[in-house]
Amino acid sequence: MNLSIAAVAHSYGDLRTIERLDLAVEPQGVVGLVGPSGCGKSTLLELICGLLEPSAGTIAVGGAESANERLAGCAYMPQRDQLLPWYSAIDNAGLALRNRGQSRAQARESAAALFERFGLAGFEASAPQDLSGGMRQRVAFLRTLVSGKPVLALDEPFAALDAITRGEMQEWLAAALRTDPRTVVLVTHDVEEALYLADRVAVLSARPARIVAELRAPHPRAADRDAAITDPAFVAVREEALRALHGGSR
């Protein structure tokens, strides 16, 4: 399912967060968004998902423009994992199915296969607060996958993790997207992460956000991450992105 954002603007009262932003994502394409802190990245994801309405411009998810249709087409992974502490890991992962009227047993059955595949087997019944940071992020990501929606809006999925876990999680997400491709908008403040995971990276300016550069990633979701991110082509694009980022925030 494709996503298109045309001339979108948004403000919270007097605070202008986004200014005339255009962005198109082809079906099953992955676009990374990087930008300075507080520039409006999360706001843009909420706009895409139909949680907010733009004050100008249009956002279409698979051609549908209304907020409700956008909500139906997009799965959102919030900045903090937002696992509900009163549900077990697997019940958190299956929340979308439960909300659509499936029984607890059905939802668990559907989520269980993914738990197996993503190295979470054995932790189905664990409380979220008993899981490690990396596991929590994986459960939160599974929750977005299980919802079965064609567009994924991921808000800094690995920001809370240490560097090593983070690299592992990036490889894990790359693998997940290789086997189960979706249209993805990935927000991160880590240029390297964006360039490794996305096909294209849009660099945003400081608030109000607009796109100051769009870069094509040389080796999106390569199986060998270490080789990919040390490749000279990758390093060159990363430097270009960093320059755009620092220029845009000044």
Ligand X SMILES: Nc1ncnc2c1ncn2[C@@H]1O[C@H](COP(=O)(O)OP(=O)(O)OP(=O)(O)O)[C@@H](O)[C@H]1O
Which stretches of the chain bind Mg ion, using CB under 5 A? 41-42
Considering only 35, 40, 44, 46, the residue that binds other proteins (CB under 8 A) is 46
Residue in 100, 71, 82 with CA at minimum distance from that of residue 137: 82
**Taking CB under 6 A as the rule, which mask of x and - marks residues 173-192 in contact with ligand X?**
----------------x---
Q: Which residue's CB is nearer to Mg ion, number 33 or number 114?
A: 33
- Binding positions for ligand X, 194-233, rule CB under 6 A: 207
215 within 8 A of 195, measured Cβ to Cβ: yes
| Edge-to-edge strand list for the sheet holding 30-34 | 74-77, 151-155, 183-187, 30-34, 200-204, 211-216
Q: CA-CA distance, 112 to 234, in Å (whole number)?
A: 37
Check binding of 108 to ligand X (CB under 6 A). no
Considering only 29, 30, 31, 40, the residue that binds ligand X (CB under 6 A) is 40
| Residues of the chain by 3-state class (helix, strand, coil), percent to 5 | 40, 25, 35
Total residues in contact with other proteins, by rule CB under 8 A: 25
Q: Closest approach of Cβ 31 to ligand X, in Å?
A: 16
Residues that bind ligand X (CB under 6 A): 12, 15, 17, 35, 37-43, 79, 189, 207
